[in-house]
Amino acid sequence: MTRVVISVGGSVLIPSLDAHRLKEWAKSLITLTKAGIQIFAVVGGGGEARRYIDACREIGLDEASSDEIGIQVTRINAALLIGALKEHAYPAVVTSYIEAKTAAISGKIVVMGGVTPGQTTDAVAAVLAEEVGASMMINMTAIDGIYTADPKKDASAKKHDLLSPQGLIDLIMKEKMTAGSNMVIDLVAAKIAERSGIPLVVIDGRNPALIENALLKGEFAGTIVGEKKIMFPIV
């Protein structure tokens, strides 16, 4: 069975508790499962995690302990997604890669959040993709691909259709020098994508249906990080 790891940014799954898109996401993930794809969803913390982390900083908590609180928020978001997926999801939020592999035996959608301080859920998704032998890792966040520069700051920035893993690492390193920059993928995830050779695909997560369009209909408009293009649809 084709295995796909999807990193669902908290910012697109649960922009806020009032404005969540849990039902839409559940519908898309269930459609992919019914098409014969084993889905592993790694859920981010989004705005709620950021608010908790800001409160941690205000009270003088160190960064790693603040990360631990961020991880708890990703797991609450993961639990909400499980709630929306109902019987289609493995019922518990898994907290390690080995648990994720065990849960996958059920054939249901496996959902997890963060794992360890010092990274984001992008890195979790990249490691999980390696451990479960996924055919790709898909990052669904609030942008439609990876650009040559930050499109908010540079009007001449162009979207990459295909970018090598080394090209992505170079881009992240360059971006890091600019204060306040916010890279689409974290460096740990990029390094793992490079060593595993598993393609990393960026799709606009603001519309969950775009993942169905890419994987099932072949309508893809994001960025592929890898050595060669992927033939969509995949099933």
Positions in the binding site for ligand UTP (CB under 6 A):
9-11, 44-46, 49, 53, 67, 70-71, 74, 114-117, 119-121, 124, 141
Q: Is residue 224 within 8 Å of residue 162, measured between CB atoms? A: yes
For ligand UTP, the closer of residues 38 and 121 by Cβ is: 121
CA 98, 1, 136 angle in degrees (round to 5)?
70
As measured in angstroms, the least distance from the Cβ of 20 to ligand UTP is: 13
For ligand UTP, the closer of residues 210 and 216 by Cβ is: 210
- Structure token pair of residue 201: 């695909």
Q: Is residue 22 within 8 Å of residue 58, measured between CB atoms? A: no
CA distance 10 to 17: 11
As measured in angstroms, the least distance from the Cβ of 45 to ligand UTP is: 3
For ligand UTP, the closer of residues 44 and 208 by Cβ is: 44
As measured in angstroms, the least distance from the Cβ of 53 to ligand UTP is: 6
For ligand UTP, the closer of residues 11 and 223 by Cβ is: 11
CA distance 190 to 187: 5
For ligand UTP, the closer of residues 28 and 120 by Cβ is: 120
List Cβ neighbours of 185 (8 Å cut-off, separation of 6 or more).
122, 139, 146, 168, 172, 200, 202, 225
CA 175 to chain centre: 20
For ligand UTP, the closer of residues 142 and 235 by Cβ is: 142
As measured in angstroms, the least distance from the Cβ of 217 to ligand UTP is: 25
Put the strands of the sheet holding 37-43 in their side by side order: 110-112, 37-43, 2-8, 136-141, 200-204, 223-225, 162-163
As measured in angstroms, the least distance from the Cβ of 107 to ligand UTP is: 26
Q: Is residue 211 within 8 Å of residue 203, measured between CB atoms? A: yes
Task: Give which of 112, 140, 126 is closest to 186, Cα–Cα.
Answer: 126
As measured in angstroms, the least distance from the Cβ of 89 to ligand UTP is: 19
